[in-house]
Amino acid sequence: PAPTSLNLAVIGGDGIGPEVVAQGLKVLRAVTDQVGVSVTTTDYDLGAKRWHKSGETLPDSVVEELRGHDAILLGAIGHPTVPSGVLERGVLLPLRFALDHCVNLRPSVLFPGAVSPLDIERVAPDGIDFVVVREGTEGPYVGNGGALRVGTPHEIATEVSVNTAYGVDRVVRDAFERASARPRKKLTLVHKHNVLVHAGHLWRRTVEAVAPEFPEVTVDYLHIDAATIFMTTDPGRFDVIVTDNLFGDIITDLAAAISGGIGLAASGNINPMRTAPSMFEPVHGSAPDIEGQGKADPTAAILSVALMLEHVGLPELAARVDQAVHDDLAERDPSVPRTTDQIGDAVAARL
Ligand code: NAI
Ligand code: MG
């Protein structure tokens, strides 16, 4: 049954994070008000500001409180005044691991009016509409590694990619289910199993083992390096891509770049087992270069709200938000710049 209330945790974070999240919430309220779904929000102060104030990254008590919500909306975390790695390893990754966000979902859609650096008429005459299902809790991001003799000519550094049969199976199944629900029903595994033979063959065998349960889904395979070629020369060939944490991180930046830029790229950190709340956020970071100037495009944050609505069981509302963004982009005049607030107002007004 569709929920009648939503209890959200909101982590605005740093830089433009709070600015774009505010517009996402504005649009969320506009679309939920009409159907009588009540929204309550609780703000959590995490990120660079908290770290500077107290040295804290992600207190255990905050993780426990977050668990009590239906979903989490995140802006962005990070600032040049914080050493690289402190907040990524201290806040973002621990959140994904603690809440078991094994599916990092990143759709890439070329909306009308969106500008791609590719010659779309030539390389993708039928448009771009694919989704990357990136594994979010394993791979080389788990922190399995270390360093010895740092700073000496004998330094040793390891960063071990961890892949479990359980972890690969659950993300592959999620990707098959998503492919099965889409019109083109195509799944592409992206890896490098000719060189990374241990992890690569686990991924390949898992896809082969699950495929018979989804006979309607066509299965394809590309090495990661070839995938980057096709993403620029023939992006229309992709429907659902499933891949590991590192390859997924890289390929989704490329995917965002070809389909209208970082201001449009939305993402969900999803727990498909629903044992903890999922978290929805724009792919972009805190953009300190434009902080506080009203220049941030809130569209990615608004599209992340649509992903959240879909996940919590309100797909009609998700479709309305997507359509409102679609129409707003189609009628956007790039020669007339709009502020963050004006874009949020324009999308909300269409609802
Ligand atoms: P960034 O995505 O913040 O910015 C890259 C460029 O894109 C900048 O020129 C920025 O002005 C522009 N940009 C980004 N989002 C925009 C938007 N919505 N509208 C208009 N322009 C936009 O990446 P950068 O500069 O590498 O990172 C800045 C900080 O953000 C760093 O501390 C980084 O660690 C953090 N970060 C956090 C992420 C997260 O919270 N998930 C993801 C990526 C970066
Ligand atoms: Mg990234």
Residue 3: pLDDT band (50, 70, 90) is very high
Q: How far apart are CA 279 and CA 297, in angstroms?
A: 20
Q: Domains of the chain: which residue ranges?
A: 1-104+264-351, 116-259
* Rounded alpha-carbon distances, angstroms, from residue 228 to 31, 71, 250: 37, 33, 9
242-297 pLDDT, tens digit per residue, is 999 999 999 998 999 999 888 899 999 999 999 999 999 999 999 999 999 999 99
Ligand whose nearest atom lies closest to the CA of 90: 1
CATH number for domain 1-104+264-351, candidates 3.40.718.10, 3.20.20.70, 3.40.50.970, 3.30.465.10: 3.40.718.10
- Domain 1-104+264-351 and domain 116-259, same fold? Reply is yes
Question: Ligand 1 atom 13: the closest Cα is on which residue?
Answer: 287
Ligand whose nearest atom lies closest to the CA of 14: 1
- Could you list the active site residues? 141, 192, 225, 249, 253
Tokens 């999308």 correspond to 347
Q: Is the CB of 284 under 6 A from ligand 1?
A: yes
pLDDT at site 114:
83
Residue 310: pLDDT band (50, 70, 90) is very high
* Rounded alpha-carbon distances, angstroms, from residue 307 to 142, 174, 312: 26, 15, 9
Q: Is the CB of 297 under 6 A from ligand 1?
A: yes
Q: Is the CB of 285 under 6 A from ligand 1?
A: yes
| Residues surrounding ion ligand 2 at CB below 5 Å | 249
Regarding an ipTM greater than 0.90, the answer is yes
49-95 pLDDT, tens digit per residue, is 999 999 999 999 999 999 999 999 999 999 999 999 899 889 998 99
Q: Is the CB of 279 under 6 A from ligand 1?
A: no
Task: Identify the CATH class of 116-259.
Answer: alpha beta
